[in-house]
């Protein structure tokens, strides 16, 4: 009887595997049940250094509704996809010194499934679902109970990460050893970030002085004011769109890549993700991942629509709550990104109210060096830092992989 109990217990524990299909990286995948019938998919890669002691780093892509496999294959994962749908090793993968987990959340994102009526509509629900995910993940991977944990991500994860961090702090579960949050080019507080679109566009010669002062600046100022007073989004969006269209144009394809102003916009995400789409559509790949019968998509419109009203919510106070608990936070921004530009990053971090707000506002930027080269500017106070990364767009690990690996390794080891 005891042997039968042990056998069934082992079935619920995720087992690490190696597969030539995935270049023999040691990995685990799994589905964690959330709510009644929903689940969240994850893909864990063991550290290439010391998997039994290295920290656990979780990555969340934004959207809302975009799959974290996008980052896995194009940014900070162990490999990228070639044109012939084979994989190529990434020497700058974030699992070089960490156990790295890519999570498809909220429910309904990527390979995850959302049951009827179970889509999240606000960040409190995001945090609650993710807490349940962490508990299920630790049940399947008990070796990580109590291991130092860092939650990272980019873009709309500027909403997800503060909410998740705040929920984990509130729960204070001894199994979960949260040590830090890292937010890349995050949308945290639209009220102060939206007006910087005009300033950023003008500074980078994307619009003329006339268009900036007489169209973009006043339109975005009204947009920000309406967001502040929580006016109906249908009203605030009128002025937000006037300002943005004056910069981007009125067609479906913007005048430039909104994630990297140095490049043209190609495809719905301004990048060609066809190789990733085709690779994750392969039956042998889905079988190896344990998701046979499911269809992967880059971004879910359904998930995005469910969170429509959430987009104007200010998440900075949840960042402050996490900071006041003693958890460290890093916000970093590639300076070639338009849509979540570094000026907006400076704006929301300066506006955030916390006990060291004044010290942070008065702090001066210092040169940030990687391998003896100037790679950005950094400033901070207490357990909070903001880093501007030079010559990187929205996806810092894609554009500056060595810098991105350095910043995350420094963050998780300091």
For residues 144 and 276, membership in a common domain is answered with yes
Which pLDDT score is estimated for 228?
A: 86
Which pLDDT score is estimated for 268?
A: 78
Which pLDDT score is estimated for 10?
A: 40
pLDDT in tens, 161-191: 999 999 999 999 999 999 999 999 999 999 9
Q: What residues make up the domain containing 297?
A: 27-189+269-413
- Pairing, β 384-389 against β 328-334: parallel
For residues 66 and 200, membership in a common domain is answered with no
Distances, alpha carbon 20 to alpha carbons 24, 42, 286, 392, 411, in Å: 5, 20, 14, 32, 32
How far apart, in whole angstroms, are the C-alpha atoms of residue 393 and residue 36?
39
164 phi, psi to nearest 5 deg: -65, -45
**Considering the domain boundaries, does residue 257 fall inside one?**
no
User: Given 39, 310, 337, 399, which residue is catalytic?
Assistant: 337
For residues 288 and 399, membership in a common domain is answered with yes
Which pLDDT score is estimated for 15?
A: 66
Contact 30, 41 (CB under 8 A): yes
User: Given 80, 155, 224, 333, which residue is catalytic?
Assistant: 155
For residues 41 and 154, membership in a common domain is answered with yes
pTM over 0.85: yes
How many helices (H) and strands (E) the chain has is answered by 17, 12
For residues 222 and 135, membership in a common domain is answered with no
> Of 179, 213, 248, which closes a domain?
248
For residues 277 and 171, membership in a common domain is answered with yes
For residues 98 and 204, membership in a common domain is answered with no
For residues 48 and 107, membership in a common domain is answered with yes
Domain count, the chain: 2
pLDDT in tens, 284-299: 999 999 999 999 999 9
Query: Buried b vs exposed e over 154-180: b needs ≥16 C-beta within 10 Å?
Result: bbbbbbbbbbbbbbbbeeeeeebbbbb
For residues 237 and 273, membership in a common domain is answered with no
**Considering the domain boundaries, does residue 14 fall inside one?**
no
CA 302-303-307 angle, to 5 degrees, is 115
User: Given 47, 93, 236, 394, which residue is catalytic?
Assistant: 394
For residues 32 and 175, membership in a common domain is answered with yes
344 CB-contact burial (10 Å; exposed 0-12 / middle 13-18 / buried 19+): buried
> Of 248, 279, 294, which closes a domain?
248
**Considering the domain boundaries, does residue 20 fall inside one?**
no
In the annotation, is 304 catalytic? no
For residues 226 and 238, membership in a common domain is answered with yes
**Considering the domain boundaries, does residue 37 fall inside one?**
yes
Which pLDDT score is estimated for 68?
A: 98
How far apart, in whole angstroms, are the C-alpha atoms of residue 195 and residue 244?
10
**Considering the domain boundaries, does residue 8 fall inside one?**
no
Which pLDDT score is estimated for 4?
A: 44
Q: What's the mean pLDDT in 187-209?
A: 96
**Considering the domain boundaries, does residue 261 fall inside one?**
no
- Pairing, β 99-104 against β 56-60: parallel
Query: pLDDT band for position 230 (50/70/90)?
Result: confident
In the annotation, is 394 catalytic? yes
For residues 299 and 244, membership in a common domain is answered with no
**Considering the domain boundaries, does residue 258 fall inside one?**
no
What is the CATH classification number for the domain harbouring 393?
3.40.50.1820
**Considering the domain boundaries, does residue 173 fall inside one?**
yes
Q: What's the mean pLDDT in 305-330?
A: 97
In the annotation, is 337 catalytic? yes
Query: pLDDT band for position 18 (50/70/90)?
Result: confident
Q: What's the mean pLDDT in 24-44?
A: 95
């Amino acid at each position: 009887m005891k042997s039968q109990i042990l056998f069934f217990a082992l079935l619920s524990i995720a087992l690490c595997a190696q597969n030539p299909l995935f270049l023999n990286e040691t990995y685990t995948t799994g589905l964690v049940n959330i709510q009644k019938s929903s689940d969240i998919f994850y893909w864990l890669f063991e550290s290439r250094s010391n998997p039994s002691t290295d920290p656990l780093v979780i990555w969340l892509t934004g959207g809302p509704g975009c799959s974290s496999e996008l980052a896995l294959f194009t940014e900070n994962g162990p490999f990228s996809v070639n044109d012939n749908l084979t994989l190529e090793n990434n020497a700058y993968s974030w699992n070089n010194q960490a156990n790295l987990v890519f999570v498809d959340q909220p429910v309904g994102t990527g390979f995850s499934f959302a049951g009827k009526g179970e889509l999240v509509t606000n960040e409190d629900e995001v945090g609650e679902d993710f807490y349940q995910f962490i508990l299920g993940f630790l049940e399947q991977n008990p070796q990580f109970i109590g291991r130092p944990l860092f939650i990272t991500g980019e873009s709309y994860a500027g909403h997800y990460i503060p909410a998740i961090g705040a929920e984990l702090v509130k729960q204070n579960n001894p199994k979960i050893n949260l040590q830090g949050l890292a937010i890349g080019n995050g949308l945290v507080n639209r009220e102060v970030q939206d007006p910087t679109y005009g300033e950023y566009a003008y500074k980078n010669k994307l619009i003329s002085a006339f268009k900036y002062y007489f169209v973009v600046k006043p339109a975005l100022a009204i947009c920000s004011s309406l967001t502040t007073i929580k006016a109906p989004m249908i009203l605030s969006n009128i002025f937000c769109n006037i300002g943005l269209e004056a910069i981007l144009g009125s067609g479906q394809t913007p005048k430039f890549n909104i994630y990297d102003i140095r490049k043209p916009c190609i495809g719905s995400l301004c990048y060609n993700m066809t190789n990733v789409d085709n690779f994750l559509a392969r039956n042998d790949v889905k079988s190896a991942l344990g998701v046979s019968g499911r269809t992967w998509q880059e971004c879910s419109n359904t998930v995005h629509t469910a969170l429509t009203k959430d987009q104007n919510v200010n998440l900075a106070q949840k960042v402050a709550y996490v900071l006041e608990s003693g958890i460290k936070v890093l916000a970093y921004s590639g300076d070639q990104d338009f849509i979540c530009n570094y000026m907006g990053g400076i704006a929301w971090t300066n506006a955030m109210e916390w006990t060291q707000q004044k010290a942070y506002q008065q702090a001066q930027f210092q040169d940030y060096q990687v391998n003896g080269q100037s790679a950005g500017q950094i400033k901070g106070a207490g357990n909070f830092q903001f880093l501007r990364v030079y010559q990187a767009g929205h996806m810092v690990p894609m554009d500056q992989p060595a810098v991105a690996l350095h910043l995350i390794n420094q963050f998780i080891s300091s």
